[in-house]
Amino acid sequence: MRVFKGEVTTLPPDKSISHRAALIGALSEGITEITNFSGGFDNQSTLGVLQGAGISLRQEEMQGAFGRPMRRVVMESRGLWSFQPPESPLMCNNSGSTMRMFAGILAAQPFASELVGDSSLMKRPMKRVADPLRLMGAGVELSQSGTAPIRIQGTKEIKPIEYLLPVPSAQVKSLVAFAALHADGESRIIEPVRSRDHTEVMLGLESFESEGKRVIVVPGRKTIEAKPFYIPADPSAACFIVALGLLARGSEIIIRDVCLNPTRAAFLDILLEAGAGLSIENQRVIGGESIGDILVRNKAGLDPLVISDPQVVAFAIDEIPMLAVLSAFATGQFELHNAAELRTKESDRIDALVVNLQRLGFECEQYPDGFMVKSRMRTPSGTVVIESFDDHRIAMSFAIAGKATGSALDITDINVVGVSFPNFFELLEGLEA
């Protein structure tokens, strides 16, 4: 029986906040210092496209709390129009966040540009990017199938907008906000279902409730003064370690300095309601973000997870793969609805989860917006091949299940975990008692 114990102080910095800190820094006037910036492939892609568009920046190694190594990014910019025409297409690699959010900035620059990605990213839908930017006056061209490359003819005369988000998407909300910062007038972004709010928090945008919807107000052409950012540990990465501690008998793990923003930590509420052995310690606020330590203890009696509320789905969208695998292995059951957005991630995550769970002997039923795990009909003998579908969250979810339960799993393209969690396997080895 494998037991996992210890203190986690080297969780990857938050991906979402790292992306936004770099993009906001590039829009600011002055020198921006970002402490504990993520070294994951996706966030490095954001720095790469910024440099490709003329932003001067450097990365430095430093030592943080608990003696852990950290990465500091220092960049200098001159405000909203600090960018230069790229000499070639800007490569986003596998980062949909980079492509979608940076498109909003490029739409407001007075030059043409093009965003491209790897083979996986070039298949992902981008119509939701093009639609609001066209309404704001930018020229945007996609492939015939509505995917990248995204060719943008930007304009300095970007128009203010009142935009109702058709689906919950923090990326689309952010790209509209970044474009609207350049407009000659106030814009409003309307969310029927609230999504993660890092962009609003970091920019200090006002918001209010109206007729059951959330309205975010974006002032146009307002100077953004450069300021320092500190990036807390990524809750989406913490979810994997939490699942490890809950699945492996006798385990006890404390995870330090995790972002506990309410729009990101819904997976903890889901697990607590299901009876998981979790507690939050040392909670405080840094830079407008709630941060704390998560203590996880293995205990019997986890209830099967049922996730269907659209708001909960929006707040836990990145953690759903791990929650599904955790619930399946711990209880033999899981149920998900109102999560069609999962089909447009790095993979079709609904299909990827069902395919792999069926290989492991689980009886599943799939829907357009979710799926159900009914029971485990058999336990396979020998090694089971798990298909990662080039998706870091699928790969890590099943790797955690294999580690915690001792299941023999052969996960394809396992190195894809480096997209968001470069030290994933090193950390797991350090926790194994």
Catalytic residues: 318
Contact 314, 194 (CB under 8 A): yes
Closest among 338, 329, 318 to 393, alpha carbons compared = 318
Q: What is the 3-state secondary structure (H, E, C) of 182-209?
A: CCCCCEEEEECCCCCCHHHHHHCCEEEE
Contact 359, 352 (CB under 8 A): no
End-to-end CA distance of the chain: 10
Residue 144 contacts by C-beta under 8 Å, 6 or more apart in sequence? none
What secondary structure letter does DSSP report for 420?
Answer: T
The number of CA neighbours under 13 Å toward the Cβ of 74 is: 5
What span, in angstroms and rounded, lies between the C-alpha atoms of 228 and 33? 5
H/E stretch holding 321 reads: helix 320-331
CB atoms within 10 A of CB 304: 14
